[in-house]
Amino acid sequence: MPPRALDPAGVALVDKPAGPSSFAIVAQIRHRTRARTGHAGTLDPFATGLLLLLSGRATKLAPCLVGLDKRYLTDIDLTARTATGDPEGEIVETLEPPGEAELERRVAGLRGAIELPIPAASAVKIGGERAYRLARRGVEVEMPLRRSTVHALEVIAYTDESVTLDLSVSSGTYIRAIADALGGHCRTLRRTEVGPFSVTDAVTPEAFEPDMLLTEAEVLARVERGQDGVAP
């Protein structure tokens, strides 16, 4: 079967581990299916959790999936900001962690419609070049703001130096930007949901088999039920 085949067609729910890039996981699944393979949104290498990978003719479903809301768990280090907003970046500022009352005030200000700078280590193009490439060369640029919506943001654990958050956000929201706004950086980040799809139904890249693909009809039905407010 040629590597750009349209079959098998469907959507794979894959639980990405920390370390490899999302594109490495795409290549791993493509090797199993020998079909055209795409994605409905990537995760940074340090992040884990749900990837929706599209196989064969189901790659045409990407426009229906990329705009779905996302849910994340993140552990934020409140003692320092980093250049990238995650553990891979250089520490650029050390901070005295906020007290619980101040943290709650900051968290409250991040619920609902928000506007935050896009992280410098993102793939957004600035003057025709990816921001992360400029950042790697030490070029400082003023990053544009991005408007997004935080539907829910709950503090589920707190210590003097870190906070763990459970967030439900609109597509395109940078959790690293939220961590920076709170005065820290993401120590861990895990995507637990994409629209009506949950990481609890996902498999590791190594465990994936082509017969695990969700059919196009099933995927579209789940998305439609989710938009109607019906539990999947």
> How many angstroms separate the Cα of 41 from the Cα of each of 142, 160, 193, 202, 224?
25, 33, 12, 15, 19
The answer to whether the beta carbons of residues 154 and 166 sit under 8 Å apart is yes
Q: What CA dihedral angle connects 127, 179, 190 and 51, to 10 degrees?
A: -20
Rounded Cα distance between 64 and 223, Å, is 8
Tokens of 154: 């709950």
Please list, in sequence order, all residues whose beta carbon lies within 8 angstroms of the beta carbon of residue 30, skipping any fewer than 6 positions away.
3, 36, 37
Catalytic residue among 7, 15, 44, 69: 44
Per the annotation, the verdict on 44 as an active-site residue is yes
CA-to-CA separations, 207 to 1, 17, 116, 202, 211, in angstroms, rounded:
21, 12, 38, 10, 11
Going by C-beta distance under 8 Å and a sequence separation of 6 or more, which residues neighbour residue 94?
A: 79, 80
CA dihedral 111, 95, 156, 90 (to 10 degrees): 90
By C-alpha distance, which of 149, 198, 170, 159 is closest to 75?
159
Catalytic residue numbers read 44
